[in-house]
Structure 1
Amino acid sequence: MATDIFDRLKQDHDKHRQLIDAIKETTGASDDRKALFEEFKTDAMAHAAAEEGTLYVAMMEDPEIRQDAQHSVKEHADIGMLFVELDEMEMGSSGWLNKFNSLAEEYTHHIDEEEEEKFPKAREELREDLAVELKTAFEDRKPIEVARVREGADVDEIKHAIEEEEGAK
């Protein structure tokens, strides 16, 4: 059982690694691939939003680890865009699989970096009781974020950001 925010986030990361591996074992636009991808997308996006609203808020208040939080938030945005792109592609195409493999690589890099670099540094900087409080806050917030993702709220925000970015070019 997770004792603090860092252990709790690692639990999600481990689940996401398993989902990525399971998706890679599927083929075409199979029902299994669709269900596994939807579960991964929903959980990973909700995880990111809840993480930003709990741990990263606390990290932003500490000058020693603020930059780490900003870096991770940027990576969350990049990963979110990959999820949106995948949603708009034909799941059975080789292009979808190539894009998914890019997402898997980027996501795995992100969570490895968090676990190996960002979390240990944050654990040193943040009070132990705060890390425990943040776990509870994360667990309270994540179901709310899951509902938002299922409603498409995050995807709509990402699509709007992409449109604004393309309009600025």
Structure 2
Amino acid sequence: MPETLYDALRESHERQRSLCRKLLRSQPHSARRIELFTDLRIELAAHEAAEERFLYAPILMHDAGLDASRHALHEHHQIDELVEDLQTTDHSGRGWMAKAKQLSETVHHHLREEERAFFQVSGKLLTDTQKTQLARRYRRDHARMEKTLREA
């Protein structure tokens, strides 16, 4: 059976969950904390961009997908704001870890909601052929975005 868009998205979701867990266990004043945050920031940005292009945009074309897509886009914006706050705060302070916990909770909430509700809504709106084609396009765009962000 060919890979679907949902298979590719779940793979990224697992990376995000793992990076969040590792980040919250990282030691203050460590290079590892900064490395983990950078990896998470890049994974989130690459995933969001590709997901918005190849899942949310097609679903926005259907009346039945409008509310769910708008809600998911709003949550992406919340995640982006938390990442931005973390980039401008001292990585070794307590305030930074409190904000990192908030980011982790927001990411986990978004992924749960997406997998439990949004995938079901969108799964009814996309054809099997679209799900397969969008998986390839998502993976290509995710890889391109990740490379661009790492080089920046």
Which of the five TM-score ranges fits, normalised by the shorter chain? over 0.9
Find the counterpart in structure 2 of residue 78 from structure 1.
78
For the 8 Å contact 2:2–2:132, the answer to whether it is kept is no
Find the counterpart in structure 2 of residue 94 from structure 1.
94
Matches within 5 A, 1:17-36: 17-36=17-36
For normalisation by structure 2, the TM-score amounts to 0.94
Inter-partner Cα distance in structure 2 for 1:11 and 1:39: 15
Question: Is 140-149 or 120-129 further displaced after alignment?
Answer: 140-149
Q: How many pairs does the alignment contain?
A: 152
Identity of aligned residues (%): 26
For the 8 Å contact 1:2–1:8, the answer to whether it is kept is no
Structure 1, gaps ≥5 residues long: 153-169
For the 8 Å contact 1:4–1:135, the answer to whether it is kept is yes
Q: How big is the alpha-carbon RMSD for the aligned residues of Structure 1 and Structure 2?
A: 1.5
Inter-partner Cα distance in structure 2 for 1:54 and 1:75: 17
Find the counterpart in structure 1 of residue 14 from structure 2.
14
Find the counterpart in structure 2 of residue 47 from structure 1.
47
Once the two structures are TM-superposed, the CA of residue 81 in structure 1 deviates from its matched residue by 0.9
Letter in 1 for 2:20: I
Structure 1 pair 63–113 and aligned structure 2 pair: CA distance change class (3 A): same
Ranked by relative contact order (alpha carbons within 8 Å, sequence separation 6 or more), the top structure is 2
Q: Per-residue CA shift, 1:97-150, capped at 9, x if unaligned?
A: 000000100110001100011001111221111011110110111122224434
Find the counterpart in structure 1 of residue 60 from structure 2.
60
Structure 2, gaps ≥5 residues long: none
Structure 1 pair 114–63 and aligned structure 2 pair: CA distance change class (3 A): same
Q: Per-residue CA shift, 1:53-73, capped at 9, x if unaligned?
A: 111111011111122111111
For normalisation by structure 1, the TM-score amounts to 0.85
